[in-house]
């Protein structure tokens, strides 16, 4: 039993018989339960690869395996696979199906033959997750590009897939929403979903992905953890990509003799603490507060004596709970990173966190604590 969920073996595909090969004997595998990013320049074949992985296109030769079984192209086989593997298209206009927002989001769950209440609940939740509840009854055609993108994301979230393929989910979104999408992806992954994403946002991907796959000239030219790839400057150039800025700065500091190359920081706060010589003990405390959907946040904070601290938010249930109060939150996006930053400047902070995400939130201090750059106390409440 291998740990690959989706795998291609020498897959060759072109859009027309005489056309150039878009995928040329491509071997790629997607590990189960991880966050995998697919990188590559425009036209490298990312979207095409996804269409092959979702059986929308059948390769001319080679094999696609899903859960170690060859992909079935029979009608029922495809239905079975697609009820587990959902795909978010790069272009929302190619994904919209119904004329109104809520109808479109409900389309997937309805096709899954779920009971009406369940559909209703999922639509509600998915629209909330992407911040589009206010547009529930709007005609899709009257929405902006980014809003459409959010709606189509809600459409696949509502299907609650166990594998989610997202083709450039953050392109065209505002920066905060881009972080929120990453958070959604993180949350799905915490609950056991395998998430695959293509993106041109190198920085965002670098802080998110467990593994990367790099496509170039119809082949997969790199597969593995990100660092060795970015280490190979030639390869990065050839693939038409750039180093993530945190990675590059870390590298520059290492070249300047300011620090060792490893351990690799993945976020700005990690990098900052790594190069500041201040091995401080006066960092603030990060209070990770578990928040359920129905938690009364102000009451909980009061009972724990955590009022007045800067507050970050992380995860779906925390967002839902916070939505029920009038409470203001300092960091609506990228919660753990922002809270860590506060702690680095000596302040305590509070992270309202979905119980399922607690481990992830807590581990965001690991880089600092584990490498002797100082000590951030993390208190789980």
- We find the least distance from the C-beta atom of residue 22 to ligand ATP, in angstroms, to be 4
Q: Which does 111 bind (CB under 5 to 8 A by kind): Mg ion, other proteins, ligand ATP, none?
A: other proteins
Structure letter (DSSP) for residue 351: E
- We find the least distance from the C-beta atom of residue 36 to other proteins, in angstroms, to be 19
Cα(7)–Cα(5) distance, rounded to whole angstroms?
Answer: 7
Q: Which does 281 bind (CB under 5 to 8 A by kind): other proteins, ligand ATP, Mg ion, none?
A: none
Site for other proteins in 141-200 (CB under 8 A): 141, 155-156, 159
Q: Which does 15 bind (CB under 5 to 8 A by kind): Mg ion, other proteins, ligand ATP, none?
A: ligand ATP
Joined together, the tokens standing for residue 134 give: 């206010």
Task: Determine, following the binding rule CB under 8 A, whether residue 268 of this chain makes contact with other proteins.
Answer: no
SS3 205: helix
SS3 250: helix
Count of beta carbons in the 10 Å neighbourhood of residue 101: 28
| Closest-CA residue to 214 (of 234, 186, 184) | 234
Task: Determine, following the binding rule CB under 6 A, whether residue 47 of this chain makes contact with ligand ATP.
Answer: yes
- We find the least distance from the C-beta atom of residue 91 to Mg ion, in angstroms, to be 8
Which member of 69, 113, 134, 281 binds other proteins (CB under 8 A)?
113
Q: Which does 358 bind (CB under 5 to 8 A by kind): other proteins, ligand ATP, Mg ion, none?
A: none
Which member of 8, 48, 187, 295 binds ligand ATP (CB under 6 A)?
48
Cα(379)–Cα(230) distance, rounded to whole angstroms?
Answer: 35
- We find the least distance from the C-beta atom of residue 90 to ligand ATP, in angstroms, to be 5
Site for other proteins in 31-90 (CB under 8 A): 54, 56, 75, 78-79, 82-83, 86-87, 89
- We find the least distance from the C-beta atom of residue 308 to other proteins, in angstroms, to be 46
Cα(105)–Cα(125) distance, rounded to whole angstroms?
Answer: 10
Site for Mg ion in 27-66 (CB under 5 A): 46-47
Instruction: Please identify, using beta-carbon distances, which residue of 194 and 199 lies nearer to ligand ATP.
Output: 199
Q: Residues 74-103: x/- map of binding to ligand ATP (CB under 6 A)?
A: ----------------x-------------
Residue with tokens 């072109």: 14
Backbone angles phi, psi at 73, to 5 degrees: -105, 10
For ligand ATP, the binding residues (CB under 6 A) are: 15, 22, 40, 42-48, 90
For other proteins, the binding residues (CB under 8 A) are: 18, 54, 56, 75, 78-79, 82-83, 86-87, 89, 93-99, 107-108, 110-113, 141, 155-156, 159
């Amino acid at each position: 039993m291998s740990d690959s969920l989706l795998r291609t073996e020498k897959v060759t595909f072109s859009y027309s018989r005489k056309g150039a090969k878009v995928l040329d004997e491509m071997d790629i595998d997607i590990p189960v339960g991880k966050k995998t990013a697919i990188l590559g320049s425009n036209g490298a074949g990312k979207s095409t690869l996804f269409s092959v992985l979702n059986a929308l296109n059948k390769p001319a030769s080679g094999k696609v395996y899903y859960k170690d079984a060859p992909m079935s192209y029979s009608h029922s086989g495809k239905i079975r696979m697609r009820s587990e593997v959902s795909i978010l298209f790069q272009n929302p206009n190619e994904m919209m199906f119904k004329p109104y927002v809520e109808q479109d989001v409900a389309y997937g769950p309805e096709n899954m033959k779920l009971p009406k209440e369940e559909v209703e609940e999922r639509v509600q939740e998915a629209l909330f997750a992407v911040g589009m509840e206010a547009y529930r009854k709007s005609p899709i055609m009257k929405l902006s590009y980014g809003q459409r993108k959010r709606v189509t994301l809600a459409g696949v979230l509502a299907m609650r897939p166990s594998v989610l393929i997202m083709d450039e989910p953050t392109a065209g979104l505002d920066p905060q929403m881009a972080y929120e999408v990453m958070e959604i992806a993180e949350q799905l992954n915490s609950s056991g979903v395998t998430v695959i994403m293509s993106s041109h946002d190198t920085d965002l991907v670098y802080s998110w992905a467990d593994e990367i796959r790099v496509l170039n000239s119809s082949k997969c030219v790199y597969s593995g953890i990100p660092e060795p790839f970015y280490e190979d400057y030639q390869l990065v150039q050839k693939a038409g990509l750039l180093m993530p800025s945190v990675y590059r700065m870390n590298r520059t500091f290492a070249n300047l003799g300011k620090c060792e190359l490893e351990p690799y920081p993945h976020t700005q706060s990690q990098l900052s603490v790594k190069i500041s010589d201040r091995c401080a003990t006066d960092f603030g405390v990060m209070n990770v507060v578990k928040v359920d959907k129905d938690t009364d946040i102000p009451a909980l904070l009061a009972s724990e004596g955590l009022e007045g601290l800067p507050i970050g938010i992380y995860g779906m249930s925390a967002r839902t709970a916070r939505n029920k109060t009038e409470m203001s939150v300092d960091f609506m996006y990228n919660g753990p990173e922002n809270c860590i930053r506060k702690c680095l400047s000596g302040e305590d902070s509070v992270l309202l966190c979905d119980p399922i995400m607690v481990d992830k939130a807590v581990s965001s201090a690991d880089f600092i604590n584990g490498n002797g750059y100082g000590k951030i106390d993390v208190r789980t409440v």
